[in-house]
């Protein structure tokens, strides 16, 4: 037992055996015949696998054809959250690096990395993204390789899966086109950022307190919020219906590009408007027209996402991460971070160090 205490990188759980389940039992992410999670007494389950292992499959997708760690001292940690009376599934994956060949015949997978990179090959096409990126996959067969950010920082990503039929029905009810045909890199839309923070805060909350008394009620609210977030994304990806909408959409797109590029700088909304040659009022109305938060709130959310990735990558302390992401006032940053992710930044950083 003692020789297994030291794991190859920070941020990973302590593995006591080659294969073990931690706290919540083995049958994580196993779906019933109706495609819904089998609800148990506790909502969150955890699965830990210590390499070298190739025969045991992590039950994260419908079918795993092969799995291997990228090095002999590999470790995989999956915390899964099952939503009552819902086909939606959430999971947080931490890995020192692995390759998996899988098939998902009827569910869409949304991969939201916080640290490290993920590369997937589908029908000869290769898709790759890292922290802050988003990968969305139609039901398919794919080979995916994840790599950690550094020897001290594991790959960390949140995962959402749901039946494609549900998305089709959502688009039909809202008169929206189904934009996902095979697979795509989703642009950095505010709606995607909202979904990322919602999933992250939910998983973090249940990791800290998996047996909370209000679990069922809380998860019911989460299910409704996720459904709304998916509708927001479908609406944001829909093409404009007229020239005026097209002009407004271009203004929003350009503003988002400027925010992504300049978020580390002391840039204001007035600076962004000057670059776009528009008034603050017209930019505010353009964001409002597309159901987005205010430009100021969107810029703040972009900075929060960056700060969280810096903390999870383990390359900066809290002050450095906040400053690099564009924050000036540390107390305000800490409060905003708590509201967005369900924990203070010092806990994000401290949990990785304690696990090491």
Q: What is the pTM of this model?
A: 0.75
Cβ-proximal residues to 132 (8 Å cutoff; 6+ apart), any chain: 113, 188, 305, 306, 309
Q: Where exactly does CATH 2.60.120.10 map onto the chain?
A: 2-236
**What whole-number distance in Å separates Cα of residue 224 and Cα of residue 236?**
19
Band the pLDDT of 7: cuts 50, 70, 90.
very low
Do 98 and 145 contact (CB within 8 A), yes or no? Answer: yes
Higher-confidence position of 7 and 4: 7
Cβ 91 vs Cβ 80: under 8 Å = yes
Over pLDDT 70: what percentage of the chain?
71
Residue ranges of the alpha helices (H) in the chain?
Answer: 164-173, 190-208, 215-237, 243-262, 269-276, 280-289, 295-313, 318-325, 330-341, 345-355
Higher pLDDT: 274 or 227? It is 274
pLDDT above 90: residue 119? yes
Cβ atoms < 10 Å from Cβ of 182:
12
The tokens describing 18, both together, are: 């080659």
Rank 54-63, 233-242, 313-322 by mean pLDDT and report only the highest: 313-322
Cα four-point dihedral sign 11, 14, 20, 21: negative
Domain with CATH 1.10.10.60 in the chain: 240-355
Q: Residue 208 above 60 pLDDT?
A: yes
Per-residue confidence (pLDDT) for residue 72, from 0 to 100 = 83
What is the rounded CA–CA span in Å between residue 347 and residue 9? 18
Q: 136 pLDDT band (50/70/90 cuts)?
A: confident
Q: Is the peptide bond preceding residue 52 cis, with omega within 30 degrees of 0? A: yes
Across the chain, mean pLDDT equals 76
Q: Which two tokens stand for residue 327?
A: 């924050």
Assigned fold of 2-236? Jelly Rolls (2.60.120)
Burial 1-34 (b: 16+ CB within 10 A, else e): eeeeeebbbbbbbebeeeeeeeebeeebbebeee
pLDDT reported for residue 162: 86
Tokens 């992410």 belong to which residue?
29
Element (H, E) at 141: strand 140-147
pLDDT digits (tens, 9 = 90+) for 170-200: 777 767 666 555 555 555 567 778 888 888 9
Query: For residues 180 and 92, which has the higher predicted lDDT (pLDDT)?
Result: 92
Q: Which fold would CATH assign to domain 240-355?
A: Arc Repressor Mutant, subunit A (1.10.10)
Chain centroid, CA 177 distance in Å: 24
37 band by pLDDT with thresholds 50, 70 and 90: very low
Residue 6: pLDDT over 80: no
Confidence (pLDDT) at 192: 78
Task: Work out the pLDDT band at 167, boundaries 50, 70, 90.
Answer: confident
Task: Check: CB of residue 186 under 8 Å from CB of residue 233.
Answer: yes
């Amino acid at each position: 037992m003692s020789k297994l205490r030291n794991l190859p990188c920070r941020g990973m759980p302590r593995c006591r055996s080659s294969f073990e389940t931690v706290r919540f039992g083995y049958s994580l992410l196993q779906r019933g015949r109706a495609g819904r999670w089998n609800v148990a007494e506790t909502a969150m389950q955890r699965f830990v696998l210590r390499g070298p292992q190739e025969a045991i499959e992590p039950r994260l997708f419908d079918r795993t054809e092969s799995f291997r760690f990228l090095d002999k001292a590999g470790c995989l940690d999956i915390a899964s959250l099952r939503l009552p009376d819902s086909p939606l599934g959430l999971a947080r994956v931490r890995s020192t690096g692995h390759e998996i060949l899988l098939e998902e015949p009827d569910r869409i997978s949304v991969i939201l990395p916080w640290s490290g990179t993920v590369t997937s090959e589908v029908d000869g096409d290769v898709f790759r993204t890292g922290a802050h990126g988003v990968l969305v996959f139609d039901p398919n067969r794919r080979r995916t390789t994840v790599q950690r950010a550094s020897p001290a920082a594991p790959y960390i990503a949140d995962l959402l899966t749901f039946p494609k039929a549900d998305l089709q029905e959502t688009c039909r009810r809202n008169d929206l086109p189904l934009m996902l045909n095979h697979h795509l890199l989703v642009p950095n839309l505010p709606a995607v950022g909202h979904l990322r923070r919602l999933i992250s805060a939910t998983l973090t909350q249940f990791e800290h307190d998996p047996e909370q008394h209000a679990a069922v009620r809380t998860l019911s609210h989460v299910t409704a919020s996720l459904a709304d977030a998916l509708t927001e994304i479908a609406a944001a990806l829909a093409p404009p219906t007229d020239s005026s909408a097209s002009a407004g959409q271009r203004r929003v797109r350009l503003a988002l590009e400027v925010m992504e590029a300049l978020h580390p700088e002391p840039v204001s909304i007035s600076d962004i408007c000057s670059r776009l040659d528009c008034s603050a009022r017209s930019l505010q109305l353009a964001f409002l027209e597309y159901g987005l938060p205010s430009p100021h709130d969107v810029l703040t959310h972009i900075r929060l996402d960056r700060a969280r990735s810096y903390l999870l990558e383990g390359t900066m302390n809290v002050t450095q991460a906040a400053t690099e992401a564009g924050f000036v006032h540390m107390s305000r940053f800490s409060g905003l971070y708590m509201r967005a992710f369900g924990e203070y930044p010092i806990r994000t950083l401290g949990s990785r160090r304690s696990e090491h």
